[in-house]
Amino acid sequence: MFPGQEAVGTLLSSIPSGREEDWNGKMSEIKKKIQSVLPGGAWTQLHDTSYLPPEHSDVVIVGGGVMGLSVAYWLKRLERPRGAIRVLVVERDHTYSQASTVLSVGGIRQQFSVPENIQLSLFSIDFLRNINEYLAVVDDPPLDIQFNPSGYLLLASEKGAAVLESNVRVQRQEGAKVCLMSPEQLRNKFPWINPEGVALASYGMEHEGWFDPWSLLQGLRRKVQSMGVLFCQGEVTRFVSSSNHAETPSGEEVTLKRVHEVHVKIDHSLEYQPVECAIVINAAGAWSGQIAELAGVGKGPPGTLQGTKLPVEPRKRYVYLWNCPQGPGLETPFVIDASGAYFRREGLGNNYLGGCSPTEEEEPDPENLEVDHEFFQDKVWPPLAQRVPAFESLKVRSAWAGYYDYNTFDQNGVVGPHPLVVNMYFATGFSGHGLQQAPAVGRAVAEMVLHGNFQTINLSPFLFNRFHLGEKVHEHNII
């Protein structure tokens, strides 16, 4: 409690009820008098510091998207004793105008090929389906993330059939309920599909679907605020670190760094505010490569651990929304065509949304989020109209673009501490499946921070070291 705070509290509570209006009237008269003797116009507070971050926080999370908020949630949930750690989330844009989370298409599936990815999504589906067991806030209405249970339907050509079959084997071993379908079964179950060129399909019978990313983000925000997490609107622009020299087991001379201070540039101001901290979480999504660089990650000779960058960058992806009165009905799954084009229903009324990831050569300039409508005409519509003949007569209603937090090394998440910037932890790089895995990834990062190891799902294959060691995570189902 600050000096004088008690006195003010006592003063306010001693105003007899009914006299409050008198009190407010007097206050407003006093304000007017002060205003009349001060230079300048309307009454303004000269020093409103409510938007400033605290001077110290045990943990500073860079990025208030779904990843950052999930880490914040799990840190507070797993901390012992309650209230033990102070957590600050720094987000530069509270409208989230460019954040991947709110520009995603909200899908969750179990149909991955790497066991850890399946395990992450299996935990996340439990979290999402029981969202109020995790995110309910006393006296607030229950959270509704508009979960739409519906399987993913993955279609494979002759060339991809064997891989699809072996992926399903792994999915089943991990506990996912997925069935294989022949072209004939496909035609029977979904008569609106043209199975030409499809050799095999896999269909998720449980634990898949889509939901509203905004609702999840808002729910997480509301919950973590109720748990005491602090927020600050500002941009992380600098880290102040100390350094030590050491040698790796392979004899490489390295510099170990520890971040002591995070500088936050305050919105609409040239000022920055230093925040002393013990741990930094890099959850800056598509921009996490830049945040890593600010902390010195990758600043060393090429080919060394010291010179290994965080390979995460923004990659632009388009989403188109169309209407098709003759299109497939409510039982439509989330379809991933063998060509890579995808679509799903959007609400009722024969609206659909979909897109397709470009090839490496087609990658658009990520400078801005303008939509290329020709991409739909050339790359998305032809394969989808071939697969669903009713789509011959669709009408595009709107479109948007968002950034994948794209891991150029192997398109999988990066989770856990950096080996050299010893108190920076990553939760990034999920390249198109980060929304659905955020609930489980937040838990994994919190376990690492609080216990020093992964306790529930062993995510060692996702550690940063793999970039230096050249050990890719080979996930077949990157969309």
Ligand X SMILES: Cc1cc2nc3c(=O)[nH]c(=O)nc-3n(C[C@H](O)[C@H](O)[C@H](O)COP(=O)(O)OP(=O)(O)OC[C@H]3O[C@@H](n4cnc5c(N)ncnc54)[C@H](O)[C@@H]3O)c2cc1C
Q: Contact residues for ligand X (CB under 6 A)?
A: 62-68, 90-93, 96, 99-101, 103-107, 235-236, 283-287, 291, 317, 319, 402-405, 428, 430, 432-436
The CA distance from 395 to 318, in Å, is 16
SS3 147: coil
Dihedral through CA 240, CA 242, CA 246, CA 249, nearest 10?
-40
Which residue bears the tokens 């399946």?
118
Report in angstroms how near the CB of residue 372 gets to ligand X at its nearest.
13
Residue 52, class by beta-carbon neighbours within 10 Å (0-12 exposed, 13-18 middle, 19+ buried)? middle
Q: Which is nearer to ligand X, 283 or 388 (CB)?
A: 283
Tokens 């303008």 -> residue: 370
Residue 344's φ and ψ, nearest 5 degrees, are -150, 165
In the bound state with ligand X, the residue whose beta carbon lies nearer, of 86 and 265, is: 265
Nearer to ligand X, 165 or 235 (CB): 235
Q: Which is nearer to ligand X, 199 or 430 (CB)?
A: 430
Residue 204 and residue 122 in contact, taking contact as beta carbons nearer than 8 Å: no
Nearer to ligand X, 199 or 297 (CB): 297
Residue 222: both structure tokens together: 């509301």
Q: Which is nearer to ligand X, 211 or 454 (CB)?
A: 211
Min. distance of Cβ 369 from ligand X in angstroms? 10
Strands, sheet with 395-407, edge to edge from the N-terminal-most edge strand: 178-181, 200-204, 152-156, 334-336, 342-345, 351-355, 312-323, 395-407
Which amino acid, one-letter code, is at 352?
Y
The smaller minimum CB distance to ligand X, of residues 104 and 423, is found at 104
Minimal distance in Å, beta carbon 163 to ligand X?
21
* CA distances (Å), origin 60, targets 228, 238, 277: 14, 13, 7
CB of 185 to ligand X, least distance (A): 26
- Read off the tokens for 33: 């008098």
Q: Can you tell me the distance from the alpha carbon of 85 to that of 169, in angstroms, rounded to the nearest whole number?
A: 42
Report in angstroms how near the CB of residue 336 gets to ligand X at its nearest.
11
Query: b vs e for 141-155, b when ≥16 Cβ sit within 10 Å of the residue's Cβ?
Result: eebebebbebbbbbb
- Positive or negative: CA dihedral 191, 194, 196, 198: negative
Q: Min. distance of Cβ 286 from ligand X in angstroms?
A: 6
211/305 with CB nearer ligand X: 211
Q: Measured from the CB of residue 304, what is the shortest distance to ligand X in angstroms? A: 26
Nearer to ligand X, 219 or 434 (CB): 434
Q: How near is the Cβ of 237 to ligand X at its closest, in Å?
A: 7
Min dist. Cβ of residue 316 to ligand X (A): 8
Query: Which residue's CB is nearer to ligand X, number 312 or number 463?
Result: 312
- In the complex, what is the shortest distance from the CB of residue 35 to ligand X, in angstroms, rounded to a whole number? 37
Which SS3 state, helix, strand or coil, does residue 196 take? Answer: coil
Q: What is the dihedral of CA 373, 374, 379, 383, to 10 degrees?
A: 80
**Among residues 59 and 103, whose Cβ is nearest to ligand X?**
103
| 474, 163 Cβ separation under 8 angstroms | no
Q: Taking the C-alpha atoms of 347, 352, 358 and 364 in order, what is their torsion angle to the nearest 10 degrees?
A: -70
On the question of a cis peptide bond just before residue 81, with omega within 30 degrees of 0, the verdict is yes
Closest approach, Cβ 469 to ligand X, in A, equals 24
